[in-house]
């Protein structure tokens, strides 16, 4: 029988292998895994409970919010915020920063998208939670402010996501590879199922909302044509896969190889996705797995943030494919 490694044991073993690592990070990640279990419990029952439907409110992005988004948001804030490890939090669902219920001792900042792909909940399609962790810039948790949240992605100390799919998985990195855990509901534990995930240099899938073709700029259209052209050497044409839940699209492409694109469009010059709690954490994971993530010209992790909810165009996935997208963006192809 294969050795069963729980997420907790994995965190502890990773910590031992990296003596410079503090136990704090292990605790933080365990808090996130715990919150994920609470969200999972509701997500898998979403079709049963009277929890579906619109709340009638919109989030700070001006988008409709479903009850489960708010539920997940509250659960994460309460479950994680109780432990005193985070001084400050930022969520897709909250306009300003959130002071956790117990923050006096926290040395870290948590940024998160509580429920990603929420339009897919009521049609039983995978959704996710995305998170990003930074160390405070100063020593005093009471002085933590928005500037502690607005650090560039390369300063993340950990990032990850949970995908609530046909099985539930948590995937994370602390800068020492990418590891994936599958939830076993019979014992209530995340078990190590993918160690040191690496993504293929070239993919076989491309993921974009192609319905918005009329909104796309020339370089994006050029890249899409390239992806669809037959070419034996590069395995083209690639197949289209688009779920509409970033976590699920990213996760599939990470494992199988592929490129996800949410570009700047004529209408949305900054794209749709959010830098701080969508692009940055996934970019950290992608790079750790050997992939590449840019806004078309600049590395996502090097973007200096100005706003908690700022958007960015996103090209993420297999290295060679993202490089081709950038060549189109520069007009070299
Ligand atoms: P969220 O549900 O957190 O608002 O995110 C939705 C995002 C992302 O998950 C997905 O990649 C994208 O919206 C899909 O957008 P389109 O419907 O424009 O393709
Ligand atoms: Mn999202
Ligand atoms: Mn969301």
Measured from the Cα of 61, ligand 1's closest atom is 4
Confidence at residue 179, expressed as pLDDT on a 0 to 100 scale: 98
Instruction: State the CB neighbour count (10 A cutoff) for residue 64.
Output: 14
CA distance 324 to 333: 8
pTM over 0.75: yes
Closest ligand 1 atom to Cα of 113: 3
244 lines ligand 1 (CB under 6 A): yes
Q: What domains sit in the chain, N to C, each tagged with a CATH number?
A: 7-194 (3.30.540.10), 205-329 (3.40.190.80)
**Distance, CA 292 to ligand 1 centroid (Å)?**
20
DSSP SS3 for 197: coil
Beta-carbon count within 10 A of 95 CB: 12
| Residue percentage of the chain with pLDDT more than 90 | 78
Residue 124 has pLDDT above 80, yes or no: yes
| Nearest CA, atom 17, ligand 1 | 244
Ligand nearest to the CA of 248: 1
Instruction: Report the pLDDT value the prediction gives residue 68, as an integer from 0 to 100.
Output: 85
Torsion of CA 136, 137, 141, 146, to 10 degrees: -90
**Ligand whose nearest atom lies closest to the CA of 91:** 3
Residue nearest atom 15 of ligand 1, based on CA coordinates: 244
Let me know if 286 is exposed, middle or buried by CB neighbors in 10 A (0-12, 13-18, 19+).
Answer: buried
CA angle 127, 102, 185 (to 5 degrees): 35
> What backbone phi and psi angles, to 5 degrees, belong to 267?
-80, -45
| 250-260 per-position pLDDT tens digit | 999 999 999 99
- The mean of the pLDDT values for the chain is 92
CB 265 within 8 A of CB 216: yes
Question: What confidence category does residue 65 fall into, taking pLDDT thresholds of 50, 70 and 90?
Answer: low
**56: CA distance to ligand 3 center in Å?**
16
**pLDDT at residue 165, rounded to an integer:** 94
Checking if the pLDDT of 54 tops 80, the result is no
Which atom of ligand 1 approaches the CA of 211 most closely?
Answer: 19
Q: Whose CA is nearest to atom 12 of ligand 1?
A: 244
| Residue 6, Cβ density class (10 Å: 0-12 exposed, 13-18 middle, ≥19 buried) | middle
- Between the CA of 118 and the centroid of ligand 2 the distance, in Å, is 8
Residue 118 beta carbon below 6 angstroms from any ligand 1 atom: yes
Among 14-23, 92-101, 186-195, the range scoring the smallest mean pLDDT is 14-23
What SS3 class is residue 68? helix
Q: Does residue 1 carry a pLDDT above 70?
A: no
Please give the pLDDT value at position 57: 62
Portion of the chain with pLDDT greater than 70, in percent = 94
- Residue 56: pLDDT above 70? no
Q: Between helices 246-256 and 280-288, what is the axis angle to 10°?
A: 10
- Extract long-range pairs of 112-115: CB within 8 Å, 24+ residues apart: 112/76, 112/277, 113/274, 113/277, 113/278, 114/39, 114/69, 114/72, 114/73, 114/75, 114/76, 115/39, 115/43, 115/66, 115/68, 115/69, 115/72, 115/73
Say which residue, 106 or 294, is predicted with more confidence: 294
Coarse DSSP helix, strand, coil percentages of the chain, rounded to the nearest 5 percent: 35, 25, 40
Residue 127 parent element (H or E):
strand 127-135
Please give the average per-residue pLDDT across 207-214, as a whole number: 94
| Residue nearest (by alpha carbon) to ligand 1 atom 6 | 117
Q: Are 289 and 180 in contact (CB under 8 A)?
A: no
């Amino acid at each position: 029988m294969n050795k069963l490694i729980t997420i907790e044991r994995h965190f502890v073993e990773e910590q031992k292998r990296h003596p410079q690592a503090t136990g704090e990070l292990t605790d933080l990640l365990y808090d996130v895994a715990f919150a994920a279990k609470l969200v999972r419990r509701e997500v898998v029952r979403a079709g049963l409970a009277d929890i579906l439907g619109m709340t009638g409110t919109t989030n700070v992005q001006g988008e409709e919010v479903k009850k489960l988004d708010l539920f997940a948001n509250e659960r994460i804030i309460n479950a994680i915020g109780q432990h005193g490890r985070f001084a400050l939090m930022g969520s897709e669902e909250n306009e300003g920063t959130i002071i956790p219920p117990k923050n006096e001792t926290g040395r870290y900042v948590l940024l998160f998208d509580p429920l990603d792909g929420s339009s897919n909940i009521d049609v039983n399609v995978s959704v996710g939670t995305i998170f990003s962790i930074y160390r405070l810039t100063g020593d005093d948790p009471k002085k933590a402010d928005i500037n502690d949240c607005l650090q560039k992605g390369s300063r993340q100390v950990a990032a990850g996501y949970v995908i609530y799919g046909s099985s539930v998985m948590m995937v994370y990195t602390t800068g020492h590879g990418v590891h994936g855990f599958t939830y076993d509901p019979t014992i209530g534990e995340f078990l190590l199922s993918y160690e040191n995930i690496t993504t293929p240099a070239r993919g076989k899938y491309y993921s974009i909302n192609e319905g918005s073709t009329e909104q796309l700029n020339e370089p994006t259209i050029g890249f899409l044509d390239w992806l669809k052209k037959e070419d034996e050497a590069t395995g083209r044409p690639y197949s289209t896969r688009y779920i509409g839940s970033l976590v699920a699209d990213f996760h599939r492409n990470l494992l199988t190889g592929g490129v996800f694109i949410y570009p700047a469009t004529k209408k949305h010059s900054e794209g749709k996705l959010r830098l701080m709690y969508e692009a940055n954490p996934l970019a950290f994971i992608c790079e750790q797995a050997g992939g590449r993530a840019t806004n078309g010209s600049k590395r996502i992790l090097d973007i200096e943030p100005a706003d908690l909810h700022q958007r960015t165009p996103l090209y993420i996935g297999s290295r060679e494919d993202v490089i081709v997208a950038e060549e189109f963006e520069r007009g070299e192809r």
